[in-house]
Amino acid sequence: MDFNDTPEEAAWRKEVNDFLGKEYPAELKRGGRGEEGEGLFRGPNEGSAMKQWRTALRERGWVAPAWPKEYGGAGLDIKRQFILNEEFAEYGAMNVGGFGVMMLGPTLIVHGTEEQKKEHLPGILDGSVQWCQGWSEPNAGSDVASVQTRAVKDGDDYVINGQKIWTTGAQFADMMYMLARTDPDAPKHRGISYFLLDMKAPGVTVRPLITMAGSATFNEVFFENVRVPNRNRLGEENRGWYIGATTLDFERSSIGSSVGIRKQIEGLIKFAKDHRAMAPGAARREVQMALADRWIEANVARLMSYRVISMQNAGLVPNHEASMCKLFTSEMQQKIASLGVKLTGLYGMVAGGSAQYSAGGRFGYNYVNSVSSTIAGGTSEIQRNIMAQRGLGLPRD
């Protein structure tokens, strides 16, 4: 593995850094979040700083850097995507686009009709339409192929009844890309279709779920005789599972996560040095050794990301290697959150900010919020199964 940039890659890295220094709004650099829902979901109500940032990115095609240029992206190759994501993470710059850019857009580009692309891709890029994902159900979490939400053909429409859960950002979304069962008699992977559903359609009910951290990130979504036009089915009927499982050629090395982990550890170390009275755990050898371990692990996470990007750059398709990145970084999030509470002691239990406690309650919040990191995006058990079966060649249990 060559850790050095080529002259061309070094020039590209400088171009990205120069752009960030010139264009990234100071309000966002200070951590301002604007209206509720900004972050993953931003749209007509986003603040002026975020609109400014989105415009700057869109002019370069960097809202969706992996998309082909003809669809409004930048058409970047794998290595340039990686460098851009790495520098954005180092700078602390916010990405825009959410699920529309990360998931639906690439799937539409491969499987959508030209009419569907013209209708939906522009709204993803300009932020006027926000998307959420309708995969999980109460009885179909990690086993998504067991979905029971039904879609029954009725003339020019499908009529959808059922429920989705853990639907991130559904309360802010305009549209949902979802899987529903269209043939209950077919084997479970072969009777599912892929739909684009209007969240404002009659019969759609969204109920936010309050997490143990006190936030309403997730939602339950109920469908009662919701009509979806045939033109909003993506791909062939009963082939939705294979469309949803499409492996697309976009950067998935988790470099942003590994950089973010290192920055969290740097933040813990800085807090311990700057606020000694509020970091009593810093004097404990156990905590000192844990900080050293987490620092080493953060560098391991980065090397794992480099491994994935090196494979992609060589034309290979990472599989269990990407699962290793996800498993390692998500469990690291929990270790760091736990370490933050050990470092701050009783101060780590403070729920909000005060004049006496400059950390603003973030350590306690991070501790309870980190519980979901090993569940969301594929549980640790699922990742280990992939690593065992596809990496080690072990039989299915």
Q: Is residue 62 part of a domain?
A: yes
Domain span at 165: 131-244
Domain check: are 156 and 194 in the same one? yes
Give the 3-state secondary structure of 1-56: CCCCCCHHHHHHHHHHHHHHHHHCCHHHHCCCCCCCCCCCCCCCCCCHHHHHHHHH
Residue 257: the pLDDT is 86
Q: Is residue 185 part of a domain?
A: yes
pLDDT above 70 covers a percentage of the chain that reads: 91
339-350 residue pLDDT tens: 999 999 988 888
CA neighbours within 13 Å on the CB side: how many for 263?
Answer: 13
Q: Is residue 117 part of a domain?
A: no
CA neighbours within 13 Å on the CB side: how many for 282?
Answer: 15
Choice between 237 and 257, residue whose per-residue pLDDT is larger:
237
Write down the mean pLDDT value for the chain.
89
110-142 residue pLDDT tens: 999 999 999 999 999 998 999 999 999 998 877
* Range from 161-165, 354-358, 360-364 that averages highest in pLDDT: 161-165
Domain check: are 90 and 138 in the same one? no
Instruction: Read off the CATH number of the domain in which 156 is found.
Output: 2.40.110.10
Domain check: are 259 and 367 in the same one? yes
Domain check: are 184 and 81 in the same one? no
Instruction: Read off the CATH number of the domain in which 321 is found.
Output: 1.20.140.10
Domain check: are 329 and 299 in the same one? yes
Q: How many CB atoms lie within 10 A of CB 252?
A: 23
Q: Is residue 232 part of a domain?
A: yes
Report yes or no: 141 and 167 within 8 Å, Cβ to Cβ.
no
Can you read off the two tokens belonging to residue 201? 């359609």
Which of 70, 96, 122 is a domain's end point?
96
CA neighbours within 13 Å on the CB side: how many for 41?
Answer: 20
Number of domains in the chain: 3
Q: What's the mean pLDDT in 331-355?
A: 87
Residue 35: the pLDDT is 33
Q: What's the mean pLDDT in 252-264?
A: 86
Which of 46, 80, 96 is a domain's end point?
96
pLDDT above 90 covers a percentage of the chain that reads: 69
Instruction: Read off the CATH number of the domain in which 19 is found.
Output: 1.10.540
Which of 72, 96, 120 is a domain's end point?
96
Domain check: are 346 and 300 in the same one? yes
228 forms beta bridges with 158
Query: What is this structure's pTM?
Result: 0.86
Domain check: are 328 and 284 in the same one? yes
Domain check: are 274 and 360 in the same one? yes
Residue 34: the pLDDT is 35
Burial level of 85, CB count in 10 A (0-12/13-18/19+)?
Answer: buried
For residues 379, 382, 387 and 390, what is the CA-based torsion angle, rounded to 10 degrees? -150
16-49 residue pLDDT tens: 999 999 999 988 875 433 333 334 444 445 678 8
Q: What amino acid positions are annotated as catalytic residues?
A: 251
Report yes or no: 53 and 28 within 8 Å, Cβ to Cβ.
yes
